[in-house]
Structures are given as structure tokens and as C-alpha cells.
Structure 1
Amino acid sequence: MTTYAFPPGGHPDQSTSPVGTAIFTDAYAVIPAITQRDIVTSFLPGWDGTRAWILARPLSGFAETFAQYAIELSPEGGSNNPEPDMDAQAILFVAHGTAHLTLGTELHVLQPGGYAYIPPGARWTLWNRDQTNCGVHWIRKKFVPGDGLSPPEPVVTHDTDIHAVPMPGTDGAWATQRFVDPLDLRYDCHVNLVNFLPGARIPFAETHVMEHGIYVLQGTAEYLLNTDWVSVGPGDFMWLRAFCPQACIATGTEPFRYLLYKDVNRHVPL
């Protein structure tokens, strides 16, 4: 069974150099896996046997639309009331272990690669009923209604059921797995899996209004962030404000894959 990168936890020993690769600028942040340790976790009200790495939160003047967590559920850990904000929607992606998600009266057993979109106001629970830890990436965003549009529907699926759509002119070397239809305007954000074969690239500096959370699930790359090329690998998190230029070149011998958040499909508030 495939598993995906997740915060390593633990604590480096005294022989580890404190000179690291974490970066925070006014355009982007890089939170490398080596910094995602036990001492930076949070414990959340309403959750049992669960700790969270909070990797992104709305910051005035930076990225403002979303929060991104990595939550680790111990055996029998979880919550019957996971979301305190009734206007918030959730996207879940399982990295390792098994998560038991109830949506309304339906139970869904999510294995690594399992994805769930949970609309605002939905009744849901999340528990780990196995004897090993479960790691889940959780993205929260306050929902922005669209004029004349009905509320979005829940989606529960698995990455192996989502066809990777090649980008034009790449012969499949750069392809995106989209969990919801990009033309379905009921959804005001997308969380996709982006895939690059070794040597593939984004061949221009993307510069756009969408904010990004990018969690590297597999492989390595050189990633352009604003004016800087940064080496990234499994477990590294990149956090981009609107209009931060970005590109990448996949390195190494295995595919480079990441979980990508972006806000879409709504007018800009004035």
C-alpha cells in the first residue's frame, strides 16, 4: 500500500546542525519536514488522542484564505465534533494509516490516498479505529457562496480512482489529478495532486491571484519561489501568497508529487 509524506515528529539529537532550510518571506514560506517536530504540535479542543501540526493560517498581508493542518490520530483518537466553524469546509487526504470518516449517517473507511471534501455545515466525525497511528492532511477554508449557485456536495474518493490529466505538450510528464470538476463553480477551492516525472518542469514562472499550500508527498525538485530556487523533498511544505512567481524542475529518480491547495471560482471582494 502506498503511503505519503507526513510530519516526522520526534526530536533531533544534539549532533544535528541548527542551520536549516526554513524560510519565511513576504511572498512565500518554506516549512521543511525537519522542522515539523513534536515540540511544534498543538492539541485541539474537541479532539481525543490527536495532535496537529498547523502549517498555514490566514495572515493579514500574506495568504489569507485557508488553514492547513497535518493531524496525527493515535489509536482510538479522533473527534465527534471536529470543526468549530459552521461556515468552514474541509478537505481531508490520508497519508498513512486508516481513517474512519462519517458524513451524516454514512461511514467511509479511508486508506492512504483517500480524499474527502466536506461542505460547510455538514455533520461529520473522524476516528482512528486501528492499532497504529493515522496521519491526515486537513485543509480548512471559510466557504464563499456564489450567486445563484447551490451548495457544493460532499465528495469521497481515492487518488487511484482519479485520472491524471496531462498538461498540454508534456506527454504526461506533468499531470494533475483533480478531485472535483474545475468547471463546477459550486466549489470555491480545489485541492489537487500534481505529478511530475523526473526531469519534468513547470516551464514558466506561474504568477497568479490564487494562494497555494503545497505539501510534498513524494520525490524531490528544485522549486522557484518568487526569485529564489529552493530544494524540496518529502514532507516539505510551501506556502505562497497571491502573485508569488513559481516554477519547478523535478529531480531524482522517482516522481515528484504534491498536494496543492488553491482558491478559485469567486469574484475578488472589493
Structure 2
Amino acid sequence: MADDAHTETSSQSSGDHGSVDSGFVSPSTSTVSLPRISLTQPHLKHLNKQLESLHPMDVLRFCKIFFPNLYQSTAFGLTGLVTVDMLSKLDAESPSATPQPVDLIFLDTLYHFQETYDLVERVRERYGVRVHVFKPADVDTVGQFEELYGEKLYDMSAELYDWIAKVEPLQRAYSELKVAAVLTGRRRSQGGQRGDISVLELDDERGVIKINPLANWSFAQVKAYVDEHKVPYNALLDRGYKSIGDWHSTVPVGEGEDERAGRWKGQAKTECGIHNKQSRYAQWLEKSALQQQGQEVPAA
């Protein structure tokens, strides 16, 4: 899993809260030659109204044209895999044109199931897509991670674990790759904080535009597409899992349970933080620092 691995730390600047200046950079052109594009909330509302009724393939077709410097962030769940397959079909529509593949960003927390790592290789082989792997800063193995942070950090301090293993590596990915727009696998039918997402969203703190091309698809629609097009998928899905993250916080779901019910079972949390406001983590880190200094921390 060392291909394109990045372990050095870096920072990610925030955008303006009213709009996001894209800074889009096409792989085939210089920064200077590209127009600067800003999306305000009225622009976004208009675009979402147009995109809402489109098939995901058409959403992706639009995004590949409108957002030249486009990446896909994925943990290789079913929705992300459908997106990868659809993008490959879009490339095949114009075989004579210069291919413009969308590279993938994979956050290797070091605690994924082996089945997930196996799937990454199968996707590489099937689609020939480039996967940029980002791990926690300065470590490459579980042993190195636990030497720095102790065993079972995910149990001892879940917020800190999420920051180190997921949020910071994603920030680093956005910064190093100069990501301006990113495809995600979030859907409304997944419930929780995802229940009212739009196709396009401004992530003004990270300075990127998030695109949820399958926002209005159900799990059944996603699974039907996977079956029809023989898309490779995680073997754990055949063992009762529906949403798959780290092995220590993912269990199979029961009959009638929500798709993401197997994530953080028995806990109040439903997200790892990469789709939450960064300020939540900044506040948590500040609170932790005060606690370590023995100062009284007022209740939020």
C-alpha cells in the first residue's frame, strides 16, 4: 500500500465563508492560463436546482467539464465504487480524446480491514486509476502509530484518533494535490448528518467544493448498479456489512437496520470528522490543551 504514499505534514488554508475561490488547476494547463472561478451561495443554489434531477452520470459529466482540477475521495465503499465505474465509462465515451481521469484520494488509517486493502488493488487493476494514499503523518505501520500514540487510541481518545488518522491526512491531501473540487460517496439515504445534503456543497473552511453525485440514490439503487455492471466490491458486503470503515469500529448490520448502523455501534457519533466543520476539532484540541495544563474548562 505504499504507492503514492504521503506522510509529511502540511497545512490547508481556509476560504472565505461567503464563497470559495476555486484556484482550479488543470493537469494539462498552467495556473496562469486558467480563469478564476468563485461560487457564491446563490450560484450554488442555482446549480443544485439544475443538477438535482440529473442522473449521476450526467452530474459527473458536468463536473468533469466545470471543475478541471477534480479528485475523488473514497474509502472504496459501494457509492464510491459506482462513481469510479461511471467515470471510467465517461472516459470511454470519447476514445479519441485525451483521457482526463479523476485521481482517487484514499486515507489509509492503517486500521482498515485486509479486504479493503485487497479491494484497492482490484480497483487499480480494473480501472487503471491512480490512487493517492495518505497515512497519518510520520508513520507507515500500526507499530509506528502505536509507538507514538499508544495502543487503542481509537478507544482512549476517539476525537484525537479521528484527527490524526483521517482529518489531518485529508487536509494534507487537499494541500499537496491542490484539490479544488472533490467527489464524495455521501448519500441522503445514509441518514444522520447526510440526510439533507445537496449535490454541490461549499466546504469554506477547507477551501474546496464537495460534490455528492449520488446524493439522491438509495442503497438498493447503488447495489443494483454494482450487480448490473459487475463493479468490484468489498468482500465484507457478503458477510452482512454495508458501510465499512476501520476494523475496530465497524460491525455487520442487522435486518432492517440503517446502512451506517454498523459504524461506531453503540456510540453517539455517526461521522469521523472529515465531513464536519474543522472548528469542532480546533475547539476540541484547545480544550484538550487546557485540560493538560490543569486549567478549568467551561462547559460548551
TM-score by length of 2: 0.26
Q: Which has the higher contact order (CA 8 A, sep 6+)?
A: 2
**Higher strand fraction: Structure 1 or Structure 2?**
1
TM-score by length of 1: 0.27
Which one has a bigger Cα radius of gyration?
2
